[in-house]
Amino acid sequence: MEVFKLLEIEDLSVSIGGKRVLKGVNLSVGEGETHALFGPNGCGKTTLLNTIAGIPRYKVEGGRIVLKGVDITEKPMNERARLGLGIAFQHPPAIRGLKLRDLIKLCNPQANPERILKDMDLLSFADREVNRGFSGGEVKRSEMAQLLAQRPDMVMLDEPDSGVDLENIKLIGRAINRITDKEQKPSKRTRSGIIITHFGHVLDYMTTDKAHVMLEGTIVCTGSPKEILEQIKKSGYEGCAGCLCPV
């Protein structure tokens, strides 16, 4: 059965400040699938996610981004979000005077901030200013809490496990499973995700269907997440560069 493509990236090229960072990226994520994205620092992983999110300084030079059959390449960020796109940023900013509880309500007025924050072990942060004075792990959990309220159809997670202790990685993995419908039977899953991770610890607690390796702005390899991660651990990204497996 053909899986409905929730997100399709076609031949995407992107530059930042005049410098070409993505060079013809092709990627598609089917409904109910979660993909992992590996690659060394600076290869373009964050650029890909931020471009899909629509941050204006990421300039699309060619190609297109299609979400749920709609071409969103030129759409403003908030329209993409309303169409069902969500993102957990790698380094989200702190916002003065905005309480975490109120931000959760802004993500979704119907959400129950207390319940979500309790699930993310952040209940005592409800009246704290968003990300102000939060530890690395707390910032990541706050991102998850916002996504649990927003409930996007397509979620992008930029290193949700960096700076998080082992205990909390479990919590984050469980939240990702919820956000990406992994708690449902495979046939019932409609939400999808892309996750960037360097160490893969979080992958022990969540389900991923596919993995991609990105090198110098292009996806060079696609396959089983466990297999690829083991290869990277064994021979590093140089090994990926030397491998001529077809995409």
Partner 1 sequence: MPMSSIEERAKKARDKKARFGSDVDLEAFDVEARPHSEVGAVEDLPSEVKKAALNVGVSLDQKSGGTYIQMDQTPVMARSETEGIEILDIAAALQKYDGLKDYWWKQVMVDQDKYTADVAAHPPAGYFLRARAGASTVFPLKSCLYLGQTNLNQRVHNIIIAEEGSELHVITGCTTPSHVQKGLHIGVSEFYIKKGAHVSFTMIHSWGKEVEVRPRTSIHMEEGSSLSNNYICLSPAKTLQTNPSAYLNGPGAKASFNSVIYAAEGSLDLGSQVYLRAPGCSADSVARAVSVGGDITARGLMVGEVPDVKAHLECVGLILSEKGRIYSIPELDGRCGGLDMSHEAAVGKISEVELEYLMARGLSLEQATGVIVRGFLDVEIKGLPDSLKEELRKITQLQELHGGA
Q: Is 103 in the site for partner 1 (CB under 8 A)?
A: yes
Our CB check for partner 1 shows the closer of 25 and 156 to be: 156
Taking CB under 8 A as the binding criterion, the range among 36-44, 77-85, 162-170, 209-217 that sits at the site for partner 1 is 77-85
Q: Write the binding mask 145 to 184 for partner 1: x where contact by CB under 8 A, - elsewhere.
A: -x---x----------------------------------
Task: State in angstroms the smallest separation of the CB of 93 from partner 1.
Answer: 5
Rounded to whole angstroms, the Cα distance separating 183 from 175 reads 10
Q: Is 63 in the site for partner 1 (CB under 8 A)?
A: no
User: In the 8-state DSSP scheme, what is residue 92?
Assistant: P
Q: Is 78 in the site for partner 1 (CB under 8 A)?
A: yes
With CB under 8 A as the contact rule, the residue among 61, 70, 93, 186 that binds partner 1 is 93
With CB under 8 A as the contact rule, the residue among 12, 67, 107, 203 that binds partner 1 is 107
What region does 17 belong to: left with phi over 0, alpha with psi -120 to 50, or beta? left
Which strands, in side-by-side order, build the sheet including 210-215?
Answer: 85-88, 154-158, 192-196, 34-38, 210-215, 218-223
Compute how many residues bind partner 1; rule: CB under 8 A.
24
Q: Is 136 in the site for partner 1 (CB under 8 A)?
A: no
Task: State in angstroms the smallest separation of the CB of 228 from partner 1.
Answer: 28
Q: Is 55 in the site for partner 1 (CB under 8 A)?
A: yes
Q: Is 96 in the site for partner 1 (CB under 8 A)?
A: yes
Residue type, 37: L
Cα atoms found within 13 Å of the Cα of residue 162, Cβ hemisphere only: 12
Give me the residue label for tokens 């309220």. 149
User: In the 8-state DSSP scheme, what is residue 239?
Assistant: H
Q: Is 82 in the site for partner 1 (CB under 8 A)?
A: yes
**Burial grade of 26 (CB within 10 A; 0-12, 13-18, 19 or more):** middle
**Angle at alpha carbon of residue 159, lines to 157 and 160, rounded to 5°:** 70
Contacting residues toward partner 1, per CB under 8 A? 53-56, 76-78, 81-82, 86-87, 89, 92-93, 95-98, 103, 106-107, 129, 146, 150
